[in-house]
Amino acid sequence: MNDQSAPSAAAPGDARMHVRAIHQSKGHGILMRIMVLTMRHPWQVAITVVSTIIACGLQLWMPVLLGQAVDHAEGVINGGAGAADALWTTAMIMLVVSVGRGIFTMWQNYFGEAVGHFTAYELRLAVYEKIQRLSFSYHDKVHTGDLITVGMLDLEGVRMFFATGVLRVVLLGILIGVGAYMMLSTDLWLGVLALAFVPFVAWRSSVMHITLRLTWMKLQDLLQVVSRVMEENLGGIRVVRAFAAQDHELEKFDKASDAALELAHKRVDFRVVNTAVTNLSFFISMGLVLWVGGEKVASGVMSVGTLATFLTFMTILQMPVRQLGLLVNSFSRAATCGQRLFAFLDQEVEIADRPQAKPLNVTKGTLRFENVGFAYPSAPDRQVLQGVSFEARRGQTIGLVGAPGSGKSTIAHLIPRFYDVTAGAVTIDGQNVADVSLDSLRKHVAVVQQDSFLFTTNIENNIAYGDPWAKETRIARSAESAQLHNYIMGLPTGYQTVVGERGVSLSGGQRQRLNIARSLMLHPAVMVFDDSTAAVDAGTEQRIRSAMKRFSRDRVTMIISHRLSSLMHADQILFIENGQVIERGTHAELLELGGRYRELYDLQVRPSDDQMEAAQ
């Protein structure tokens, strides 16, 4: 098998390590939990915070230097001795300080983004690992588009929190706090005027925080709908084209997009209005400082340089004022996205290894259903299976037949423990499948599903999916048994031919045969074919069944089919109706019984026999 599968070998261990770290942060508030994950990278965090503090200090030094430069320039104009040298010295210091501020700001931005991306990397692995472990019952009730939204939009909101939230708190705290102290200590009255806008801005920011958080949750729900519509459309694009339903799909997507766009516009309008109001209060304060400070300069109480220092401080504070809205928005988004993301990561896995679960030890290879009952978690009051009991030994073939919805596929899904039984037990060699490790169980039980899903990679990788390092001869044997080898060899690039998304470049029968070949690679103790030859013609099915006889000798084979010709050869046939076994026996015994199986046989087989006799 080629190298496309190699990277996945190391991923599960790394993902489990990151998941453990993420679950260790449980019990904290949402924002604190994000911070705990961020602190898993202490060196990058430390460099970022130190760079931010130094950059802020250098920026706050600039107004003082500028005020001194103005006073020195005034001295040059008035012919003061040494004023020109002092001005040049101050100018050089300002140049060095500006360069230093630029360097530390660059480090702040670089390492701040790095911390966010490291955190996103770990969360992305954790989300993907969680998706792999969640049970079928969870995926039955959750739309794929919802999971994509969590893994992309919500994760992005959490990723940006350190750079746009935490660092911004440090940055604004230093600029506003130290800047306020320096202004008040220079001139108390001017300092009060300069900071008069702060209470108003704090109040407006609080209002904006609450409003933006509520609207962001609604926006996320609307974007989730957009993702769901898009995912369904892409998955069913052939159906859409076949029924010429493009206009309907465009209208549906446009309606979902318009709802999200309208709310996004409202959010932007609200944020812009609040930002404009807070900026207006800032400029009013600056105007008052310029008026009162100008009078003091005119009266000789204050130098021009000191007033210039004040105005420069005010200009520097303008940036923190404008960013208060962004800061509030960052906290709001992180809290909302984190709540949704962690709610997903904290989902309890219903089907998991029990404490002290041991690997399945297959000796005789006997499969047994002992009075099994089952109801899906989404409908616990509706019994899908009731009192199902049967035994199959190594080398035996069991056939399941019945009307759609009778519970046949459910029986197949209980063997590898895709779901847990609600009554009775499923055992292999006397070992309850619920008490053994899932990895070992699913290595010994292979289910060829009705849905023949294929990955967008070459044919060789698809067949060897369960054993990526299998030899080419073994892959070819499995394909040959599935009656697919000759077709593959007729392709220009053979086993290296890349199938399209979901295998669209292959026919339905070819996809199902490739799916069969993939399962044959595992050499399982129990092999289940869940209507897996429905898209295969009768002649090919006969050749597949003949080729698989040698595979059936040392394992239990279960065949679920609506076509009786697929299971007439079975050692025991179970007729399932309303979740119960109402008839059992060999093909001949069931025909002699004259019950439901005989009725189905007459419907399927006798008409064709009659046609053959008429033709003769």
Burial per residue of 479-496, b for 16 or more beta-carbon CB atoms within 10 angstroms, e otherwise: bbbbbbbebbeeeeeebe
Tell me the β-bridge partners of 135: none
Residues 6+ apart with CB under 8 A from 593: 583, 585
| pLDDT tens readout for residues 91-125 | 899 899 999 999 999 999 999 999 999 998 989 88
pLDDT at 616: 44
pLDDT at 309: 83
For residues 509 and 535, is the Cβ–Cβ distance under 8 A? yes
Specify which of 576-580, 604-608, 610-614 reaches the highest per-range mean pLDDT: 576-580
pLDDT at 3: 43
pLDDT at 535: 55
For residues 501 and 490, is the Cβ–Cβ distance under 8 A? no
Q: Which fold has domain 367-615?
A: Rossmann fold (3.40.50)
User: Which candidate, 48, 45, 38, places its Cα nearest to that of 334?
Assistant: 38
Pairwise pLDDT comparison (131 vs 28), residue with the higher score:
131
Reduced to 3 states, what is the DSSP secondary structure of residue 440? helix
Which residue is listed with tokens 């990895």?
439
Pairwise pLDDT comparison (597 vs 199), residue with the higher score:
597
- Is the predicted pLDDT of residue 12 greater than 50, yes or no? no
User: Which candidate, 392, 386, 388, places its Cα nearest to that of 429?
Assistant: 392
- Is the predicted pLDDT of residue 460 greater than 70, yes or no? yes
- Is the predicted pLDDT of residue 236 greater than 80, yes or no? no
- Is the predicted pLDDT of residue 4 greater than 50, yes or no? no
pLDDT at 543: 66
For residues 445 and 528, is the Cβ–Cβ distance under 8 A? yes
| pLDDT tens readout for residues 271-293 | 888 878 877 888 888 888 888 88
- Is the predicted pLDDT of residue 5 greater than 50, yes or no? no
What average pLDDT is seen over the chain? 81
Pairwise pLDDT comparison (614 vs 75), residue with the higher score:
75
Domain positions in the chain:
11-345, 367-615
pLDDT at 482: 80
pLDDT at 47: 94
For residues 115 and 159, is the Cβ–Cβ distance under 8 A? no
Tokens at residue 418, please? 């895709």
Confidence of residue 15 (pLDDT cuts 50, 70, 90): very low
For residues 526 and 362, is the Cβ–Cβ distance under 8 A? no
Burial (CB count within 10 angstroms: exposed 0-12, middle 13-18, buried 19+), residue 435 = middle
Q: How far apart are CA 27 and CA 29, in angstroms?
A: 7
Direct distance between the N- and C-terminal alpha carbons of the chain, in angstroms, rounded to an integer:
52
Pairwise pLDDT comparison (247 vs 5), residue with the higher score:
247
Pairwise pLDDT comparison (509 vs 534), residue with the higher score:
509
Distances (CA, A) of 210 to 140, 334, 337, 608: 35, 13, 15, 72
Tokens at residue 349, please? 């896995």
Q: Percentage of the chain surpassing pLDDT 70?
A: 86
How large is the average pLDDT for residues 453-466? Answer: 84
Which residue is listed with tokens 């420069």?
312
Task: Tell me which amino acid residue 460 is.
Answer: E
pLDDT at 613: 45
Tokens at residue 510, please? 């070819």
| pLDDT tens readout for residues 350-366 | 888 888 889 999 888 89
User: Which candidate, 258, 436, 8, places its Cα nearest to that of 426?
Assistant: 436
Q: How far apart are CA 560 and CA 526, in angstroms?
A: 13
pLDDT at 270: 83
Distances (CA, A) of 493 to 487, 488, 496, 507: 12, 9, 5, 18
Name the least confident of 316-325, 373-382, 424-433. Answer: 316-325
Q: Percentage of the chain surpassing pLDDT 90?
A: 16
Assess if CATH 1.20.1560.10 describes domain 11-345: yes
For residues 212 and 331, is the Cβ–Cβ distance under 8 A? no
How large is the average pLDDT for residues 242-248? Answer: 76
Residues 6+ apart with CB under 8 A from 540: 483, 509, 513
Kindly give the residue spans of alpha helices, DSSP state H, lying in 556-605: 587-593, 596-604
pLDDT at 26: 56
Pairwise pLDDT comparison (215 vs 473), residue with the higher score:
473
pLDDT at 11: 44
Chain length of the chain: 616
| 537 torsion bin: left (phi>0), alpha (psi -120 to 50), beta (else) | beta
Name the least confident of 184-193, 221-230, 247-256, 531-540. Answer: 531-540
Question: Kind and range of the H or E element at 315?
Answer: helix 304-345
Strands 367-374 and 445-448: unpaired
User: Which candidate, 4, 267, 256, 17, places its Cα nearest to that of 122?
Assistant: 17
Across the beta sheet with 385-392, what order do the strands follow? 385-392, 367-374, 423-428, 431-432
Name the least confident of 86-90, 196-200, 326-330, 530-534. Answer: 530-534
How large is the average pLDDT for residues 466-489? Answer: 85
Q: What is the CA radius of gyration of the chain?
A: 36
For residues 220 and 340, is the Cβ–Cβ distance under 8 A? yes
Q: How far apart are CA 156 and CA 320, in angstroms?
A: 24
Tell how far CA 385 is from the center of its chain: 33
